[in-house]
Amino acid sequence: MAMTDRLLKAWYEGHPALALLQPLESLYRRVVQRKRARFLAGEGEIYQSPVPVVVVGNITVGGTGKTPMILWLIDRCQRSGLRVGVVSRGYGAKPPQFPWRVEADQTAAVAGDEPLLIVQRSGVPLMIDPDRSRAVKALLASETLDLILSDDGLQHYRLARDLELVLIDAARGLGNRRCLPAGPLREPVERLQSVDALLYNGAGSDRDDGFAFRLLPAALVNLHSGERKPVEHFAVGQQVHAVAGIGNPQRFFNTLETLHWRPIPHAFADHAPYSAEVLNFTPALPLVMTEKDAVKCRAFARPDWWYLAVDAAPSPAFIAWFDTQLMRLLPARLLP
């Protein structure tokens, strides 16, 4: 078991050795609390965008369904007639320079897997830069926009924000509720009291402290041909190789089981690179991967390789709440 897997298991299931990390956790907490205190006091260089900025982020390490939710928010804004752009750190991206405008025909090695997925799905203007303030400035210099979504960046306090949405895995929750490296939290749990909304991925219904959303399988898409098939394309009981290089691979494997397939799981590190050799599994079976993985595999895909497209489905209460926030943040002339 890899060290990261061992840490995740300890964070969410408990391990007495984590007590040894308490001094490092205390130091980490002081650093992040001081950083936020400076932001709240208006100290340092903080960029205030001329258009509203909505941060969609995590307080935990690991996947929470952020990219599908970003895509849902893009679609909701566009359906309201808004010109929306996205900024992202571009984790793992190696463009010639920063900031970098992501285009649909670029590679994941240049653009990053999640930014490339977002652009290929939505066509939205998207800029990557570890300095998200600089990304916002560059995006606004090249596009006339009404609103900007920040893909992650909850802890990026050089960028002022008008709305903070935090996603949490409903099944895993906050683990042991401790900060790095003794737990999965990027900031102390008290930080959640100051965000605008919590969204629980996989929750069956809204909670007292937040909204529910689900990730719904939408279609099977062939990497080689681009052919799109309904999820019923595979027969009940079909055995498949399942590939997931995301923050929480088990969620993907569980989804395939709910479709009544028999996945042989192949979990990779988040943002893992791939090659044809790495994905050469036996026995010979159809291979199904996440859409995030697919953007890195199309160039060498085989005819029986597919990705499962999923769509975020937030609760009606969240949709109504978000529409109200848009009305609050934007001039009336921009909204229908």
239-280 tens-digit pLDDT: 999 999 998 899 999 999 999 999 999 999 888 999 999 999
Does 336 have pLDDT greater than 70? no
Task: Look at residue 240 in the predicted model and tell me its pLDDT.
Answer: 98
Mean pLDDT of 100-124: 97
Residues of 283-317 as b/e, b for ≥16 C-beta within 10 angstroms? eebbbbbbbbbbbbbeeebeeebbbbbbebebbee
Q: Are the CB atoms for 87 and 139 separated by under 8 Å?
A: yes
5 — pLDDT class (breaks 50, 70, 90): confident
Mean pLDDT of 202-226: 97
127 — pLDDT class (breaks 50, 70, 90): very high
Q: Which has more confidence, 291 or 247?
A: 291
Q: How many whole angstroms separate alpha carbon 38 and alpha carbon 322?
A: 29
Task: Look at residue 1 in the predicted model and tell me its pLDDT.
Answer: 44
Mean pLDDT of 26-48: 96
Q: How many whole angstroms separate alpha carbon 173 and alpha carbon 214?
A: 15
User: Quick one: DSSP state of residue 77?
Assistant: H
- Indicate the average pLDDT of the chain: 95
**Distances in whole angstroms, Cα of residue 282 to Cα of each of 144, 260, 278:** 51, 21, 12
Q: How many whole angstroms separate alpha carbon 138 and alpha carbon 127?
A: 7
Does 96 have pLDDT greater than 90? yes
User: 297-313 pLDDT, tens per residue?
Assistant: 999 999 999 999 999 99
Kindly write down the DSSP assignment for every residue of 248-279, as one continuous string.
-HHHHHHHHHHTT-EEEEEE--TT----TTTT
Task: Look at residue 334 in the predicted model and tell me its pLDDT.
Answer: 67
Q: Is 178 helix (H, G, I), strand (E, B) or coil?
A: coil
Q: Quick one: what percent of the chain has pLDDT higher than 90?
A: 92
Closest of 105, 121, 151 to residue 299, by C-alpha: 105
Q: Are the CB atoms for 48 and 160 separated by under 8 Å?
A: yes
Task: Look at residue 7 in the predicted model and tell me its pLDDT.
Answer: 86
Does 113 have pLDDT greater than 60? yes
Mean pLDDT of 56-84: 95
Q: Are the CB atoms for 311 and 218 separated by under 8 Å?
A: yes
Predicted model pTM: 0.95
Q: How many whole angstroms separate alpha carbon 277 and alpha carbon 33?
A: 45
Does 217 have pLDDT greater than 90? yes
Residue 195 CB coordination number (10 Å): 17
Does 227 have pLDDT greater than 60? yes
Task: Look at residue 324 in the predicted model and tell me its pLDDT.
Answer: 95
Residue type, 171: A
Q: Is 54 helix (H, G, I), strand (E, B) or coil?
A: strand
Closest of 132, 143, 133, 145 to residue 51, by C-alpha: 145
Structural Rg of the chain based on CA atoms: 20
